[in-house]
Structure 1
């Protein structure tokens, strides 16, 4: 399977974001092709986007702020006077876009590049002069500076960077690096950034401006350069080989946004959403390339490689309590076959009142269809719906008392498969509404009479369930056909089309999904009937975390029949569920882990530059994490761990005996569905 790095959650925009703060060139000028492309982008946004967009002075002010964010989001290179010198752009960016007059934008970027290059040279000079920091004072470093005022002098910025450099050196020292290794690592990091800065060309500057322009309207509208367009086409055909991960940029880091179902990273279990990648190495051993501050497409190129080869990633785990504690994981590159993403099923046996009950679980990693076989007219082509139908028949033959559809981590796929899948559980009817930019609403649905399965049903979702998964979960909920369990879903309720420009392409948001009840899935996602503790931090992943995401809204509902009324049983089901999980070690762990993660995120706005204080803070946080993990392990009869690092490096369990926390959700989902089946048996 390919490493798909730019298909979701504004990953391409984010790549340009990083590119801008890590690339430079001397006095570029816009080409005629770029001028023409700018005017075409203006027309596309004005007349083709789903939202009603007016490119005027008010828009210019927003675009100027976006331009500052993509260039210098941490307020670390530009001064207040620099911003004022180019303040005319606050009201002229709309004209620049319409008319293709980009010189002033390029001048601004060139000035920013001068500041960036000078800062990197300053850092290298500081390192070459020798690092002799005093780690005994009371200094603290602010981790995020997006809301800070622009500094007024180079002296003030020097003070900011002295603390940043001091923190970088302290982090490496706490990772047990020698003074010589620290100096070499940091010099290599900044020299590498400076080298990439000097290789940047006019195409990069145009990409930066387009990133600022398109991100003012929504995070999924993006400009793709000719090179990015070719890569995007290849990625959508899934013909590249890599680790199977969706990546996006976050500040100076490249972050994992999700994993491709059935891909090498997914199967290995060593990489998780929101993990940050700090270095990449080729093969089983050898030098690692530091990728902090590197542009996204360059990181992707390092991670891609031939099938069967090994890539090493140095990552900061999403749940790491301190960024000084990274860990190295190994993943063998591979391609993903359709079989790896196919639906599969199992039977969970539950004991109640001295008897055994069987609940079927159908895992659906993605919504797929073998388009080539389908278009060729082959009768036995593979698709999600066809494969799920086979699993349903098998489970019915085994006498299950209910079926749970596991849509956790399912990022969507073919819309037609979402429609036809819903049709397995209802007797004809609408499934989703799609509203286009002109306000026209199209209704999609299942047209086949009859249903394949009429028994008790539940849908298990989480924060990574998106798009087509949300359509299925929302329809099952609206029809009263079954329960929705788990976590609030991603909230990706928009539709994009890819349009050719004279130079590059534009991915444009053209439509929006609405449930048959009239509610949009956009931004809010689908809320479960019964909520489980989050495995994924909703403050880090999801549509609501993306800047300028289109809002939630409603349209008129359509006529549809209700198959049941699960709401009337929710209080009873919730009581039984809470009674069970209060004694369940994994659910208790998840609830406390979610609370601790939120607490640490809110508290850790600054970090100490005092060595002993830093160690105390880090050790206190790790003690909390270790105590939480060991409480879970003791309750499960497992050996407690001596160190929190052991918990982070432990390979994920895959047997029921080990009871990994995600497995606990499957078991509890089956328990809830059994409760529901027993309650409704006499209805």
Structure 2
């Protein structure tokens, strides 16, 4: 069977670190400037028509920008501007109803009037709210923290306020919550007033500086995301940031960021980047303030994410300090400061690495090989230049496997946790190291044409027992490799269900900016899509990542799972008879494993915290709740440490330094990290179980039989 691969300008990585805009703003100009309503420029009108044309003709789903689609865009636009229903009044929403059926239809003619009317009203409401906040924080003393009242933090489905009085009361509580959080953080009343006044003043200042580009970008985001979450419009400024990100041409900290409510949140760390190497920043952390070296902190709550990125970027080897609100923390009294030295991320930093761990079973030590693969990479420039020693995932992994074989390993773990994707051809060729020849993945375009990619090179670099370890952040190219290994039954997949990103994007010029549009989908050789469902492991480990919050299925308007016809391929093993016993042995170990018991306990605590959306505005109650939360966390951690023979901690400081999780603390872990990683250990035990059970199990399927 001939297999093909054509190099196209496709993006298949699950996380590209794109700039995301929401309704929070800030800047540094006089707050006394007057507000001028924005109007679309001719370039934006032309770009809107071009985007509409490309969406209808090139998107995989071939959407119709009709009245029904306009309703979806209308709802999404209001939600993107005001996700907490804290700015618009019910009367505003009533006024906008006239635009519900025509908002998207009109852009086919370059008419952006309705979108700008809504945006201008939003900015006016923001000015009203910020002025109200400034009035409140200028009053002395602080609000009364003994009064029994609370604030609902989850307002996604809250009704729009019907009166100015109701809106004022909501914002009074929001300001009170901010004052209380800073009080709990130990700040003095006069400093609290000063900090909040400056924060609200900065946010107000930006509104007077907003450009038509800002309104256009927000509306186009709402338009494209109403189709699928990976189709995006990039204004010229955002295009520049995207190209910088893809070429790694500007120094930063190596973190993928997004906006969540008024905070800039860390989505993931770039493997080998400065933040990853510093071991201080984690996914889910929120950035509250930024400082240059020893300079003063600039509060960035409510800032636009591109402006936060501008503050974080800087010259190579310079220091940036970040004030961090840890993942899971309720408010700003739990912040801490970290320092990171800016640098670029090199290919070497992201390269595959190998380790050997020894696992004792039956009084015998067994060697298990591990290959960490943070991304699927290739030095395309060196390859094009004819360099015979150019770096690539497949080349590096092949060399690592040969070295591990000399160590006489009894099995191999491919660790793809947090691997967000990368070069498609490398995922395709990497499968070839573990199979003889055969198909690896199918690609279906919007016209229904299916292309089968595969491995034509005969022979296997590694034919021994194989386990692929994944988590919810394993995406795209990782899922292509993992799905192929699972379909061939060449190895066992363990861990958590993967991200579920099974689509392909291409970049198109639209005159004024660019459009990243979904044009194809991946399908496994067994016919099922990776899209939405992800890869479901053969043996599931507990996970601290909630798939209701992270993953393709958690994204609004994610394309659905579907299937096409399978292709012929030959499985290597028949795991059906062994899986029940392998799962049983795994569960028996997990029940007594300190690492997995810790994960389950921490997960239960996090879920309890997440479900609590009503926060008290009484100081005594909040202090009591925080003390109880800290005690629960410390008890869980010390129970794990005691079971592992480690000394208990007296406080939570540095408690996470030795904590296990399905999210590695660093994408570039040390040998000690590998040794203490409970998920890798359990993967190794599964390999030993497989080896032992295989002595009495059916032999591997012979060549040229059992074709699917």
Match of 1:37 among 35, 47, 65: 47
Shift of 1:535: 3.9
Between the aligned partners of 2:146 and 2:333, the Cα distance in structure 1 is 18
Q: Does 1:540 align with 2:555?
A: no
Is the contact made by 1:241 and 1:335 (CA closer than 8 Å) also made in structure 2? yes
Q: Deviations over 1:314-366 (max 9, x none)?
A: 12222336553122222111112211111111111122223221111111111
Match of 2:247 among 224, 233, 237: 237
Shift of 1:254: 1.2
Matches within 5 A, 1:400-479: 400-479=409-488
Relative distance call for 1:14 and 1:475 in structure 2 (3 A) is: same
Moved more, 463-472 or 326-335: 326-335
Match of 2:609 among 574, 585, 600: 600
Matches within 5 A, 1:58-457: 58-283=68-293, 285-320=294-329, 324-457=333-466
Q: Does 1:625 align with 2:633?
A: yes
Relative distance call for 1:606 and 1:413 in structure 2 (3 A) is: same
Q: Secondary structure at the match of 1:484?
A: strand
Is the contact made by 1:14 and 1:250 (CA closer than 8 Å) also made in structure 2? no
Between the aligned partners of 1:15 and 1:117, the Cα distance in structure 2 is 18
Q: Deviations over 1:366-410 (max 9, x none)?
A: 111110111112222110000000011111112111111111111
Is the contact made by 2:47 and 2:511 (CA closer than 8 Å) also made in structure 1? yes
Between the aligned partners of 2:558 and 2:465, the Cα distance in structure 1 is 36
**Aligned-residue CA RMSD in angstroms?**
2.2
5+ residue gaps in structure 2?
Answer: 1-11, 660-664, 700-708
Match of 1:14 among 16, 20, 31: 20
5+ residue gaps in structure 1?
Answer: 1-5
Relative distance call for 1:89 and 1:143 in structure 2 (3 A) is: same
Is the contact made by 1:456 and 1:677 (CA closer than 8 Å) also made in structure 2? yes
Look up the match of 1:676: 690
Shift of 1:88: 1.1
Shift of 1:103: 2.0
Q: Deviations over 1:158-198 (max 9, x none)?
A: 00000000000000000000001110111111111111111
Relative distance call for 1:291 and 1:159 in structure 2 (3 A) is: same
Between the aligned partners of 2:404 and 2:616, the Cα distance in structure 1 is 57
Shift of 1:538: 2.9
Relative distance call for 1:13 and 1:349 in structure 2 (3 A) is: closer
Is the contact made by 1:25 and 1:201 (CA closer than 8 Å) also made in structure 2? no
Look up the match of 1:635: 643
Is the contact made by 1:497 and 1:508 (CA closer than 8 Å) also made in structure 2? yes
Shift of 1:95: 3.0
Relative distance call for 1:450 and 1:680 in structure 2 (3 A) is: same
Q: Does 1:609 align with 2:617?
A: yes
Moved more, 13-22 or 635-644: 13-22
Shift of 1:425: 0.5
Between the aligned partners of 1:88 and 1:21, the Cα distance in structure 2 is 33
Is the contact made by 1:342 and 1:384 (CA closer than 8 Å) also made in structure 2? yes
Is the contact made by 1:72 and 1:78 (CA closer than 8 Å) also made in structure 2? yes
Match of 2:593 among 584, 591, 594: 584
Q: Secondary structure at the match of 1:313?
A: strand
Match of 2:655 among 610, 623, 647: 647
Is the contact made by 1:10 and 1:222 (CA closer than 8 Å) also made in structure 2? no
Q: Deviations over 1:493-513 (max 9, x none)?
A: 111111001111111011111
Shift of 1:246: 0.8
Between the aligned partners of 2:168 and 2:362, the Cα distance in structure 1 is 71
Moved more, 99-108 or 665-674: 99-108
Between the aligned partners of 2:465 and 2:250, the Cα distance in structure 1 is 41
Look up the match of 2:7: none
Moved more, 559-568 or 16-25: 16-25
Query: Structure 2 length normalisation: TM-score?
Result: 0.92
Shift of 1:106: 1.5
Query: Structure 1 length normalisation: TM-score?
Result: 0.95
Shift of 1:659: 8.0
Match of 2:576 among 567, 580, 584: 567
Q: Secondary structure at the match of 1:444?
A: strand
Q: Secondary structure at the match of 1:425?
A: coil
Between the aligned partners of 2:140 and 2:513, the Cα distance in structure 1 is 46
Is the contact made by 1:48 and 1:510 (CA closer than 8 Å) also made in structure 2? yes
Q: Does 1:521 align with 2:530?
A: yes
Look up the match of 2:680: 666
Count of residues in correspondence between the two structures? 675
Between the aligned partners of 1:28 and 1:321, the Cα distance in structure 2 is 36
Look up the match of 1:3: none
Shift of 1:583: 2.4
Look up the match of 2:66: 56
Relative distance call for 1:321 and 1:79 in structure 2 (3 A) is: closer
Between the aligned partners of 1:11 and 1:156, the Cα distance in structure 2 is 38
Is the contact made by 2:13 and 2:477 (CA closer than 8 Å) also made in structure 1? no
Relative distance call for 1:61 and 1:10 in structure 2 (3 A) is: farther
Shift of 1:86: 2.2
Between the aligned partners of 1:612 and 1:649, the Cα distance in structure 2 is 31
